[in-house]
Amino acid sequence: MRAQLRRVHDAHAHTRVKFRRNAPEMCCPAVSPRGFSSAAPSTVESRTSQLIAGITPNQDWFAIIVSGVIKLTNSLPDGRQQIVALLFPSDFLGRPFGPASSHTAETATAVELCCFSRQHFEGLMQDQAELKQLFLERTLDELETARDWMLRLGRSTAQEKLAAFILLMWRRIRAPECASCARPQAQQFDLPLSRSEIGDYLGLRIETVSRQLKALEAAGAIETGPGRTISVKDVQALERLT
């Protein structure tokens, strides 16, 4: 598995991968501990801007994201790239029972992954009906999200696209203790993408992203801070702007 993970250099930090073994319930709480004696999962910690999948044609491992955000990109023959999806905690990385994905996976933030060998994970899915059901549900959720974003990118205004993006990030990144709040309070977090990457993901110019961030802030929906820091001040206002 180590040979599959390639080190790259980030402008702000040296990338690093660290493997360690955890108790099964600490590594992958989404999977029943019943099958872990043979699965032998490993925890992988990685800093930002690290290529972790799509480097070789025969990827022989699979992972569940424990923390952090991963971006999936596709490339055209001439080298142009497009961010096609973002993966968050509890999402799956990899494609069991089929050829390796054509996407390249790169860490957008520091991440922690729970990794299985491909053979062991496919065996777990065969043995544990609840895991197979979970994988099916997540796959269908991703399909619905992709369809929603296709509509969003094709028919929404620049402000609607950015408002929807921030709302999605807020819902997926916010602290777990706020997940069940009926009326969530303002929360500060760091966007996982730079403004240039946000523009790439939404099909907007970086100048448009900056201009619309200021417009959303003027509307009282958000407040921007240094770097990628942002606070959602009014969820209902942000929802009305999507």
Span 5-17, average pLDDT: 34
CATH code at 2-146: 2.60.120.10
In this predicted model, what pLDDT tens digit does every residue of 35-72 receive, in sequence order? 444 445 566 666 666 777 654 456 677 888 888 999 99
Of 88 and 53, more confident: 88
Fold equal for 2-146 and 156-240: no
Q: Would you place residue 215 in the very low, low, confident or very high pLDDT band (cuts 50, 70, 90)?
A: very high
Q: Beta-carbon neighbour count of residue 138 at 10 Å?
A: 15
Specify the higher pLDDT residue, 230 or 27. Answer: 230
Q: Where are the domains of the chain?
A: 2-146, 156-240
The yes or no reply on domain 156-240 and CATH 1.50.10.20 is no
DSSP state of 61: E
Residues 197-211 have a mean pLDDT of 95
**Burial class, 59, CB count within 10 angstroms (exposed 0-12 / middle 13-18 / buried 19+):** buried
Degrees, nearest 5: CA angle 54-55-57: 75
Share of the chain above pLDDT 70, in %: 71
Q: Is 106 helix (H, G, I), strand (E, B) or coil?
A: strand
